Amino acid sequence: MSNPIALEPARLPYGPIPHCPPVTSAELSETDAATMALMFKALSDPVRLRLFSKVASHTGKEVCVYDIQDVGVSQPTVSHHLKKLREAGLLSCERRGTWVYYRVEPSVLAAMSALLATTRPPASPAAPAGDRAEPATARER
């Protein structure tokens, strides 16, 4: 029987995961901007984004690397991309025997979502005067 060995997630080089207000409501500090940029940069690669999506959308809280490695690249490349996602603080993992199980860090998803949230509804573009729709009551007449 194998003994689970926890692999500690990589520490973010700029500090803990920030709890930033939406970008539409306040300016980011230099440290928070660097930390969030590291996370978004890790997701800017299509293979990493697919791997992250496979882990995040898995029905359980975690997924074995065996179940997510079919992204069109070799196994060493998958390992490299998963390492980059761990270094960015987006994933954590645990080794059990010969397999590694990955899970998304919920605090990271919350921080990234909060940063991109809007605090006020987006302004709708003004339509040219001739293209404006008549009020519903006038159309029904």
The percentage of residues in the chain with a pLDDT greater than 70, rounded to a whole number, is 70
Q: Find the range with the poorest average confidence among 1-10, 71-80, 116-125.
A: 1-10
The CA-atom distances, in angstroms, between 27 and each of 16, 21, 32, 114, 120 are: 18, 8, 10, 13, 16
Average pLDDT of the segment spanning 116-134: 59
Whether 132 is covered by a domain: the verdict is no
On whether residue 8 sits in a domain, the answer given is no
Q: What is the pLDDT of residues 51-106, one digit of tens each?
A: 999 999 888 888 998 888 889 999 899 999 999 999 988 999 999 999 999 999 78
Instruction: Report the mean per-residue pLDDT for the chain.
Output: 77
In a domain, 6, yes or no: no
Integer CA distances (angstroms), 132 to 9, 122, 129, in order: 54, 19, 6
CA distance 107 to 133: 44
Q: What is the pLDDT of residue 68?
A: 87
Q: What pLDDT, on a 0 to 100 scale, did the predictor assign at position 5?
A: 47
Model confidence at 15: pLDDT above 70: no
45, part of any domain: yes
Instruction: Answer yes or no: is pLDDT of 38 > 50.
Output: yes
Report if residue 1 sits inside a domain.
no
- Tokens encoding 65: 């690397």
How many domains does one find in the chain?
1
The reply to whether 131 falls in a domain is no
Residue 52 domain boundaries: 16-118
Q: Residue 93 has what pLDDT?
A: 92
The helix or strand, by DSSP H or E, that contains position 51, with its residue range, turns out to be: helix 46-56
pTM above 0.75, yes or no: no
CA dihedral 103, 107, 108, 110 (to 10 degrees): 120
Read out DSSP for 76-117? HHHHHHHHHHHHTTSEEEEEETTEEEEEE-HHHHHHHHHHH-
CATH number, domain containing residue 109:
1.10.10.10
Predicted local confidence at residue 23, as pLDDT: 76
Strands of the sheet containing 5-7, edge to edge, are: 5-7, 91-96, 99-104, 63-64
pLDDT of residue 6 exceeding 60, the answer is no
pLDDT at residue number 3 = 46
Task: Kindly calculate the radius of gyration of the chain based on its CA atoms and give it in whole angstroms.
Answer: 21
Residue 29 lies in a domain: yes
For residues 46-52, average pLDDT: 94
Q: Is 92 a domain residue? A: yes
